[in-house]
Amino acid sequence: MASNDRELVKAYKALGDPTRLRLVQLLGSKGEMGCGELIETLGISPSTLSYHTSRLESCRLLDVRRDGQFRFFSLRRDELRRLAPALLGSELRAS
């Protein structure tokens, strides 16, 4: 399997989970968000958020900015456009 094919499989597996897909859609519409806001909006525990964000980070679909003890997440729109353009809403493709 070619390297690009492996990247696609990994990204689509990550985006195939409803929570991770919702997280990507949320970041796409709101931009950068902190852990607390994501936990509250998604209705998940901190450990669940950590698990899902690490899966998306491993696919290079998320960027993480650290500010002291806080983490802020944003989409890597370049990677999303490259790997999953049809999966994302038009507002993500236009940004």
Per residue in 11-56, pLDDT (tens digit) is 889 999 999 999 999 998 999 999 999 999 999 999 999 999 999 9
Q: Which CATH number fits domain 3-82: 3.40.50.1820, 1.10.10.10, 3.30.930.10, 3.40.250.10?
A: 1.10.10.10
Best CA proximity match to 50, nearest among 67, 34, 35 = 35
Strand partners, 65: 72
Tokens for 73, please give them: 């997440």
CA-derived radius of gyration, the chain: 13
pLDDT band at 83 (very low <50, low <70, confident <90, very high): confident
pLDDT in tens, 70-80: 999 999 988 88
